[in-house]
Amino acid sequence: MPSIVKTLRVAADPNRLRILLLLDGEELSVAELQEILSMGQSTISTHLSQLKQAGLVEDRRTGKNNLYRRRPADGGPLDRILAQAVADIPEAAGDRSARGRVLRKRQDKTRAFFDSVAGRLNRNYVPGKSWKSLAEALLRLLPPVTIADLGAGEGSFALLLAQRARRVIAVDASARMIDVGREEARRNGIANVDFRLGDIEDVPIGAGEVDLVFFSQSLHHALHPERALAEAARILAPGGRVVILDLARHRFEEARELYADEWLGFSESDLETMLARADFTQIETTLVDKEAEPPHFQTLLAVAEKAGKRA
């Protein structure tokens, strides 16, 4: 067990405390700590060396990197210091959020490797294989709930959801889009989709009326995305979920004119911050697609839950 004197001396530095909080329960490399803390490599390496000499962290070799972690908690003074540091260090909450993004990027890198090895079939034609057929199969696993599709456009996604949902409320600000969606529903004999004309920042749905809210490539058209997310929280029942598919932040300015985009996408941090401000919890964001052709638009997926228990 590290001595109390060594522990107190090393933990007296706020930046070393931030590192210890980040390494509590997770393994991180020097490069990942750099990304989270916005510090130089030599500074972080020096801090880690001092923490390791004091017996507060340990490391293991993996490939070309060392992964560092805090030594297991033992009920000693460091445990009490870190418990207090969470409240005393203003950067602690932001550090934890950034750590989550860094760890998800590591997972994305792993997935990308296996995609490159096992995903070669995706570049060739395979009879009967399509994203639509996969979506149709996955929809069978969706429980019969009430869904709001906000910014529904012509309603193609809403009509797909309706196959399994108890009811779908499709909202769009374009009267013409709503007319097209209603006609398509009538032509296909789909009766459980309710098309409503309205703004996603002022949704024509009652409070707590739906179980699931979708924004499918619609949030970047909102003048005030945070208001749209607040509306999603309002219309969701406690324990309901919101799912966002939208563009990752990009620099293709022409999109404003070509596609009537108000925002050039969002970063993961943008979505996490807006969802948290709308009182959503269990927030997860990840990059799910990148187009092969310029300007190489990327798609972000965000999922979050409204606080409270389902009735």
Domain 4-118 class, CATH top level:
mainly alpha
Min mean pLDDT across 18-22, 32-36, 148-152 is at 18-22
Q: Give the pLDDT band of residue 134 (cuts 50, 70, 90).
A: low
CA–CA dist 197, 181 (Å, integer): 11
CA–CA dist 222, 173 (Å, integer): 11
Is pLDDT at 25 greater than 60 in this prediction? yes
Residue located via tokens 């749209």:
228
Q: Tokens at residue 81, please?
A: 């210091």
* H-type alpha helices, 119-215: 131-139, 156-161, 175-187
pTM of the model: 0.59
Could you tell me the residue ranges of all domains in the chain? 4-118, 130-306
> CB of 170 within 8 A of CB of 196?
yes
> CB of 292 within 8 A of CB of 269?
no
Backbone angles phi, psi at 69, to 5 degrees: -145, 155
DSSP 26: -
Using the Cα atoms of residue 147, residue 152, residue 154 and residue 157 in order, give the sign of their dihedral: negative
Upstream peptide bond of 294 is cis (omega within 30 degrees of 0): no
pLDDT of amino acid 2: 57
Average pLDDT, integer, range 60-68? 82
CATH number for the region 130-306 comes to 3.40.50.150
> CB of 154 within 8 A of CB of 180?
yes
pLDDT of amino acid 114: 44
pLDDT of amino acid 3: 64
Using the Cα atoms of residue 14, residue 15, residue 18 and residue 23 in order, give the sign of their dihedral: negative
Q: At what angle do helices 41-53 and 14-22 cross, to 10 degrees?
A: 80
pLDDT of amino acid 133: 65
> CB of 170 within 8 A of CB of 193?
yes
pLDDT-above-70 percentage for the chain: 87
pLDDT of amino acid 64: 76
Average pLDDT, integer, range 284-310? 89
Using the Cα atoms of residue 124, residue 126, residue 132 and residue 134 in order, give the sign of their dihedral: negative
* H-type alpha helices, 119-152: 131-139
> CB of 158 within 8 A of CB of 193?
yes
pLDDT of amino acid 53: 87
Is pLDDT at 209 greater than 90 in this prediction? yes
pLDDT of amino acid 87: 74
CA–CA dist 253, 36 (Å, integer): 29
